[in-house]
């Protein structure tokens, strides 16, 4: 679970070091993106404990920007402070919480897809098809990580088109929360019986501009994935 150091940050840097601020995002942002990616892709399992200093040295930065990134992730419930310890870890999901997650995702993501219809272009559809091919290829190879990444790329390529920042943020937060658990479930099941993907139908609906069908297929896709997680949690 070592983290590749942030390449952009090579040139650190004694106290109050000499950074060029313009045109590049802050260290805090880079740390946040690095952690968020790993969470969404499920590279940090639920219950995994993490620590500021470990993360910081792994990324080659001081604990300071890590604290801010972590605080942000805690606000999104993507990390939590154990009340007893005050120690940091990746949260586990109760069935109750998973059900709420499922309901929320099923509300916001079809809406995002619906709104994306108007902004859809041939180019983006081509990219979606590429995402879906990567996804199917990963399925074929039993590559769970590849599946997780391609699935994420596919969905958020759509959501970004919706021009709905608030909803997009909600979706990001919900994925951050479900990522670790989703990875465990899919890893356990193997990639064989992964959900019948509705991506093909989704793409077709985008091509014909049928917004109602887009909404429905996205709803089905989310529903099926979450149902799988629910079964895994109970079983």
Partner DNA sequence: GCCTCGAAAATGTGATCACAAAATGGGAAA
Partner DNA sequence: TTTCCCATTTTGTGATCACATTTTCGAGGC
Given the rule CB under 8 A, which residues bind its own copies? 21, 67-68, 71-72, 74-77, 86, 96-97, 100-101, 103-104, 107-108, 111, 163-167, 169-170, 177
Spacing of C-alpha 57 from chain mean position: 24
Spacing of C-alpha 91 from chain mean position: 15
Part in contact with DNA (CB under 7 A); list of ranges 57-65, 149-157, 158-166, 208-216: 57-65
Q: What's the closest the beta carbon of residue 78 comes to DNA, in angstroms?
A: 14
* 62 vs 100 by CB, closer to DNA: 62
Tell me how far apart the alpha carbons of residues 221 and 192 are, in angstroms, rounded to a whole number: 17
Q: What's the closest the beta carbon of residue 73 comes to DNA, in angstroms?
A: 12
Query: Any residues with CB less than 8 A from the CB of 133 and at least 6 apart, and which?
Result: none
Part in contact with DNA (CB under 7 A); list of ranges 17-25, 103-111, 116-124, 147-155: 17-25
* 98 vs 120 by CB, closer to its own copies: 98
Residue 25, CB-side half-sphere exposure with 13 Å CA sphere: 10
Tell me how far apart the alpha carbons of residues 8 and 60 are, in angstroms, rounded to a whole number: 11
Query: Which of its own copies, DNA, none does residue 27 bind to, with CB < 5 to 8 Å depending on kind?
Result: DNA
Tell me how far apart the alpha carbons of residues 124 and 104 are, in angstroms, rounded to a whole number: 26
7 touching DNA, by CB under 7 A? no
Judged on CB neighbours under 10 Å (0-12, 13-18, 19+), 5 is: middle
Q: What's the closest the beta carbon of residue 98 comes to its own copies, in angstroms?
A: 9
End-to-end C-alpha distance for the chain, whole angstroms? 28
How many other C-beta atoms lie within 10 A of the C-beta of residue 153? 17
Of 18, 83, 123, 166, the one binding DNA by CB under 7 A: 18
Query: Which of its own copies, DNA, none does residue 50 bind to, with CB < 5 to 8 Å depending on kind?
Result: DNA
Q: What's the closest the beta carbon of residue 70 comes to its own copies, in angstroms?
A: 9
Q: What's the closest the beta carbon of residue 150 comes to its own copies, in angstroms?
A: 27
Q: Where would I find the beta strands (DSSP E) of 80-219?
A: 80-81, 88-89
Sites for DNA among residues 25-54 (CB under 7 A): 26-28, 50-54
Site of interaction with DNA (CB under 7 A)? 12-22, 26-28, 50-54, 61-65, 67-68, 81, 84-88
């Amino acid at each position: 679970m070592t983290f590749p150091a942030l390449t952009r940050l090579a040139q650190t840097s004694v106290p109050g070091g000499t950074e060029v601020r313009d045109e590049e995002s802050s260290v805090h942002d880079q740390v946040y993106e690095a952690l968020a990616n790993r969470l969404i892709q499920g590279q940090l399992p639920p219950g995994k404990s993490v620590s500021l200093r470990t993360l910081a040295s792994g990324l080659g930065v001081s604990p300071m920007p890590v604290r801010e990134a972590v605080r942000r992730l805690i606000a999104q419930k993507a990390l939590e402070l154990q009340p007893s310890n005050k120690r940091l870890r990746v949260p586990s999901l109760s069935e109750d919480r998973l059900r709420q997650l499922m309901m929320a995702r099923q509300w916001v993501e079809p809406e995002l897809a619906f709104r994306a219809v108007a902004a859809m272009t041939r180019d983006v559809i081509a990219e979606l098809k590429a995402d879906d091919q990567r996804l199917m290829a990963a399925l074929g190879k039993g590559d769970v990580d590849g599946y997780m990444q391609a699935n994420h790329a596919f969905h958020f390529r759509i959501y970004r088109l919706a021009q709905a920042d608030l909803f997009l943020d909600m979706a990001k937060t919900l994925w951050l929360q479900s990522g670790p658990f989703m990875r465990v479930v899919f890893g356990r099941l193997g990639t064989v019986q992964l959900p019948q993907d509705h991506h093909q139908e989704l793409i077709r609906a985008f091509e014909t501009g049928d917004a109602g069908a887009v909404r429905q297929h996205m709803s089905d896709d989310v529903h099926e994935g979450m149902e799988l997680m629910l079964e895994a949690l109970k079983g």
